[in-house]
Every structure is written in structure tokens, then in C-alpha cells.
Amino acid sequence: MPTEYKKPEWLTLLEFARPRPISGGLRGLLCPSFNWQVLLELAERHGLIALLADRIKNLGSLSVPQDFLAASSEKLRTHSIFALQLTAELFRVLERFSAAGIQILVTKGPALSARCYGDPGMRQYGDLDLVLRESDIRGATLTMFDLGYHPRVPLSAIDAGKIPGEYAFRKPGTSLLVELHTERTFRYHPRQINIEQLFERRATLLIDGRNIPVLSLEDELVLICVHGAKHFWERLLWISDVAALVFANRPTDWGRALSVARDVGAERILLLGLRLAADLLGADLPVQARADVESDRVVAKLAAQIEARLPTQETSDIGLLERAAFRIRMLGGVFAGVAYLLRLSLSPTEEDWPPGEEGNRPAFAETIRRPFRLAKKHGRRLGA
């Protein structure tokens, strides 16, 4: 276990990331040599600065330096303003899509923040994530044009049937970013999502007096676990999301959550997310979920690797072979894991499309090019 894992600054961040911080435990960590600047940097790196700043101001009995309080409060204020701006933009986009007859579901971002913490501005995020049917993506792109956004994926690529990692839209002159996801862009789900079932299971969430269409709790839980696994759980934020979502929505229907995960081949991915939430942040899992999590030895080994790396490494430090092994082990079987890895390695995204040729370059050429691009990108630490 690296020494960073035992440093008081890291352990303090873990305490603040818990669904319910334990102030007594914090007092024991704040030794004379405690480095508040390191804590601030860790919180920023792991996407937890807003949560840290909010929670630390409510622990008045702790001796917290004024310069730390001022710096963290300013970062919270900046994020809160941005979150308000994004939430207002969410309402605007929802209204325009409704007028165009396009159904969408909101995931992550302000919706997940409200679900986890009761406040759309408490969780850090930089964009809006919306789910819709692939058949609606052309009309959605035209609607985003009308809203003043520029697409990363041009209409020529959509008309040519190209499938990106996501349909990203940015509004020029602003920091507003909207990403649209369809059943065909959720490529890190081992099996394709049944988009109609997502809409059938949808829920509503009240944000600022408005009912927002969102994924069901179980679909959201599986999705954030797949997203964390996609990025090798490099940020504590994603583990905190899992712990907070389970905590805020007790009792969780574990049978339904497992069924949703099984439908998309993500059972072990879900178990790993819950294991990390329990190990690092003390998440109180449903009894049957805890039994399933603790009985999977592969999940235990993967969790130990992630927990050891989390305080010290970025995903750029993970070698190509280690990435491949992780993807394979997440599927619960060699053949299924290899098939999953091959699909990810041979499915081109917009990063594999040469600029200006998105709509007319043969798909076969992009498929051949992709593994070489990935090897160049991640092969610097091959075998590390």
C-alpha cells in the first residue's frame, strides 16, 4: 500500500466524501503537520472541492485555517454560479426539445447532484448529459443549432451513419457544453442498452420547482458505475456518487438494480462500484448486495488495485496491458471479456475520424486505424 494512502490529507478527504462525515474521526487526522494546501489540491483533482467546501464550513468546532476557508469558499462560489447557469440552460434545452417532440432523460450533472445531496450545485460537473433515442439524433442536432450550439459531430457524419463516443455541443463564447447519448453511444456498457426500457422505467425529479425527466434510480446507479469503470475509477468523485446515491435512496431495490445490470452485462461493474463505495467511504449496502459484493474475489482484487492507486495516479499512468486486463476481468469470463475488449478497440469514435472527412471516409479504414491510435496514446507505459 503506498504511503500516500495513509497520509492524513487523503484520509481527511475520504472522511469528507462519505455520505455522512464523522467529525470525531476528522479531529484525529488534523495533526500539527497537516497540509491544508495538499487537501485542497486533492479535492480539486478528485472533483470534490464543492462538497469539501460546503461540509467543512459546517464543522465549526474544527480548527481550520482562514486562508483555506477563504480559498475553498471562493471555489464553491464559482462552482455554484456555474451550476446555476447550467441548470438554467437545462430548463431551456428541455423546453426546446419538448416543443420539437423529442423525448430526453437527464443523467449525471445537476440531476445526480440533487439526487445525492439534495442540491443541484453540490456535485462538481462541467456539462449537461442527456439521453435520447438514436432515431431522434438528427432532429436533436438541428434543435441544438437553433439554441446556438455548435456540434462536434457534423450532420454529414450523422447522415453517413457514423457513431461517436457522444454527440457533444458547445456554445461559442461560453463554457456551456451539452452531451447527447443514445443507445449506440453507450459503448462501454458490455451489451447495448434497451433505450425503450430506459424510457419506460424513467422517473421524475423536482429541481427548482420543475419536474425533470431522469433515469430510474437503478439505471442511474448502473450508468455511473459503468462510467467509473470506463475511466478506471481515477476520481474519488465517482465513488462518492455511488455511496451518496445508495445512502440517499435507502432502501435500494437491490434485486431490480442487479437485474438492470445483468441486462447490459454489467453485473461485475456494478459490484465493483459498490465495493469501492463500501471500502473507501463506508457505504451501507443492502444485505444481499453486500453478500454479492463480498463473494466476488475478482472484484476484491480489482478494488484493492484501484484503492492503492487512487491517491497517487492518473489514468495516463496506466499501461496498455493493464488497461486491457482490467476490461477483460470486468466481464466475468475470458471469452466475454476478450469480446468486450475487441469491440471497444475496433469501434471508431470521432477521435478516429480525420477532420473534414467525417462523412465520407470508409468505416473499415477507421476501424484499422483505431487500435494503432490507442496503442500510441496509451502505450507509453506498456507493461508497466
pLDDT band of 99, cuts 50, 70, 90: very high
- Contact (Cβ atoms closer than 8 angstroms) between residue 231 and residue 309: no
- Helix (H), strand (E) at residue 151: strand 150-151
Asked if residue 14 is part of any domain, the answer here is: yes
Burial class of 52 by CB neighbour count within 10 A (0 to 12, 13 to 18, 19+): buried
Asked if residue 310 is part of any domain, the answer here is: no
Q: What is the spatial distance between Cα 125 and Cα 108, in angstroms, rounded to a whole number?
A: 8
CA angle 268, 278, 31 (to 5 degrees): 140
At position 73, the amino acid (one-letter code) is S
pLDDT band of 74, cuts 50, 70, 90: very high
What is the 3-state composition of the chain as percent helix, strand, coil, each rounded to the nearest 5? Answer: 60, 5, 35
Q: How many CB atoms lie within 10 A of CB 312?
A: 12
Asked if residue 373 is part of any domain, the answer here is: yes
Asked if residue 355 is part of any domain, the answer here is: yes
Average the pLDDT over 146-159 and give the result.
93
Residues spanned by the domain of 58: 3-80
Asked if residue 231 is part of any domain, the answer here is: no
Residue 100: pLDDT over 60: yes
Q: What is the spatial distance between Cα 289 and Cα 267, in angstroms, rounded to a whole number?
A: 11
Asked if residue 281 is part of any domain, the answer here is: no
Asked if residue 61 is part of any domain, the answer here is: yes
Asked if residue 99 is part of any domain, the answer here is: no
- Contact (Cβ atoms closer than 8 angstroms) between residue 203 and residue 215: yes
pLDDT tens by residue, 217-230 = 999 999 999 999 99
Last residue of a domain, one of 39, 65, 80: 80
Last residue of a domain, one of 53, 80, 107: 80
Q: What is the spatial distance between Cα 79 and Cα 54, in angstroms, rounded to a whole number?
A: 11
* Of 200-204, 278-282, 299-303, 344-348, the least confident: 344-348
Higher pLDDT among residues 170 and 54, named by residue? 170
What secondary structure does DSSP assign to 338-383, as a single string?
A: HHHHHHHHTS--GGGSPTT-TTTS-HHHHHHHHHHHHHHHHGGGTT
Residue 291: pLDDT over 60: yes
**Within the chain, what is the greatest distance between any pair of CA atoms?**
64
So what's the pLDDT on residue 299? 96
Number of domains, the chain = 2
Q: What is the spatial distance between Cα 254 and Cα 260, in angstroms, rounded to a whole number?
A: 10
Average the pLDDT over 96-125 and give the result.
94
Last residue of a domain, one of 59, 80, 101: 80
So what's the pLDDT on residue 247? 92
